[in-house]
Structure 1
Amino acid sequence: MPDHSTLKGRTAFVSGSGQNIGRGIAVRLAEAGANVVVNGSRDRDACEDTAERVRAAGTEALVVMGDMGSAADVDRVAAEALDRFGRIDILVNNAARRPHKPFLETTDADWAAVIDVALTGSFRTARAFLPGMVENGWGRIVNFAGMKAMRGYFEGAPISAGKHGVWGLTKALSREFAGKGITANVVSPGQIRKDGVDADDPARTASIPAGVMGRSDDIAAVVAFLASPEAGFVTGQMIAVNGGEET
């Protein structure tokens, strides 16, 4: 059974938490005792469903819709979250865009749309919530990469560039804020089955030594550990959750 006291009194912000990995993370943190700010850019009903699952775990939830690629939206979302809870102790930057397009067909707008969410959005949320973490002498930042992004995404140069940038940002934050009780780490998922899909894709499991695709709960468990007090000496790390695939 989940430990309902590990994060009691803490508040988490999880971007892109209307479905799949983000939803799993939000619920897992709630099961550990954290209040959760649920965020999505389009599907409010999905975010409200996540919020209901958070409340069912026994903690408070707030839904704040907004595009993490928009500076104005990030400012507004952060203000709403801080107005409701006073501070954010755990920041999980899960929101992302993953369009596929040949490199020579990629426009400036295509490039910016991906980078603005994955990298610049992570910078903006960290800038918004770090002051409270510093003031309280405790904080957890968990950013996301991705196995394919770190290898080099086929027909996805902006994705790889953005996620490598997130890795650099995370390492910089880990060094600057380690002495203030704040950790910053990256989780790099492998091939994860989407929620509601009952069977693995054999064409995809063939390359996974574990023989199965991962699930949202596998990612959520690692994030919950990184968010916990027990992970206070783990910072500046990239943790691959991929069933043994080469990263």
Structure 2
Amino acid sequence: MDRTLTGKTAFVSGSGQNIGRGVAVRLAQLGANVVVNGSSNTQACEGTATAVRAHGVEAMVAMGDMSNAQDVERITKAALAQFGAIDILVNNAARRPHKPFLEMSDDDWNGVVDVALTGSFRTARAFLPGMVEQGWGRIINFAGMKAIKGYYEGAPISAAKHGVWGLTKALSTEFASKGITANAISPGQIAKDGGDTQDPKRVGSIPAGFMGTSEDIAAAVGYLASPEARFVTGQMIAVNGGETT
């Protein structure tokens, strides 16, 4: 695999397992150092960091809740102190609780929006100055097929992810002239680490005939983070086996 990201550093939120872990490892394979983040499972994040280091790059574990302003400030400052700049920002952390809309409290709503949308705003605000200074950067946010369609009993998920899509488009226009791209990935049905990609309850709606894996999403992130994607910005890439077109 080409080491096209050698010398770059990536921050991947929610990277202890599943999609986030796959993204962190793929970026390491491409030569990037990685800041691994999780909110509570330190052991899982340390496991991701070990997998990252196996590719001959540096890894830093930065635990903290992306919905908490103080945590995000602490994490981002520590990452910048360690690496000087973050070149690639991947906002993957999310919460996906299910509850009927009329039973939803303010805390239910804010808990989702603060992680996915406000957390993405805070990390971008922290790392963009360094990207602007060096004239190069990649911001990759996550939407989600069900969130974009409308999440049943998941109004805050859909609202937050639509907000992330709006934030992505705004950043793409404002910072394109600075050598910085901002894009979103909308995953379809993705099996968990080691999960069955042929789950009969789920594959019937997927034209490809199988569920995706973390590696499928990581491959798309690897492309968007690469120098080859310099002319791709403000886009949402759906990785879903043809389930939506």
Q: Please indicate the TM-score interval, normalised by the length of the shorter structure.
A: over 0.9
Q: Does 1:159 align with 2:157?
A: yes
1:106 to 104, 107, 115: 104
Counterpart position of 1:27:
25
Deviation of residue 199 (structure 1)? Answer: 4.6
Match of 1:45 among 24, 43, 47: 43
Q: Out of 134, 137, 140, which is 1:136 matched to?
A: 134
Once the 2 structures are TM-superposed, how far is the Cα of residue 200 of structure 1 from its aligned partner? 2.4
Conservation of the 8 A alpha-carbon contact between 1:145 and 1:166: yes
Deviations 1:36-56, CA, capped at 9 Å, x for gaps: 000000000000000000000
TM-fit CA distance, 1:69: 0.4
SS at match of 1:62: strand
1:200 corresponds, among 192, 198, 201, to 198
Cα distance, 1:201 vs. partner?
1.2
**CA distance in 2 between partners of 1:15 and 1:175 (Å):** 23
Alpha-carbon distance in structure 2 between the residues aligned to 1:200 and 1:137: 44
Shift of 1:198: 3.8
One-letter amino acid of the counterpart of residue 186, structure 2 = S
Give the Cα separation in 1 of the matches to 2:220 and 2:132.
24
Q: Any conservation in 1 of the 2:197–2:212 contact (CA below 8 Å)?
A: no
Q: TM-score, normalised by structure 2?
A: 0.99
Match of residue 227 from structure 1: 225
TM-score (norm 1): 0.98
Matched, 1:117 2:115: yes
The CA RMSD over aligned residues, in Å, is 0.7
Worse-matched range after superposition: 195-204 or 210-219: 195-204
Count of matched residue pairs: 245
Check the 8 A contact 1:11/1:89 in 2, yes or no. yes
Q: Percent identity, aligned pairs only? A: 76
Divergent runs of 4+, >3 A: none
Q: Structure 1, residues 23-71: CA drift from partner, whole Å, max 9, x if none?
A: 0000000000000000000000000000000000110000000000000
Contact kept? 1:193, 1:200, Cα under 8 Å: no
Runs of at least 5 residues in structure 1 that lack an aligned partner in the other structure: none
User: Could you list the runs of 5+ residues in structure 2 that have no partner in the other structure?
Assistant: none
Aligned to 2:67: 69
Cα-to-partner distance string for 1:132-182 (whole Å, 9 max, x where unaligned): 000000000000000000000000000000000000000000000000000
Aligned to 1:236: 234
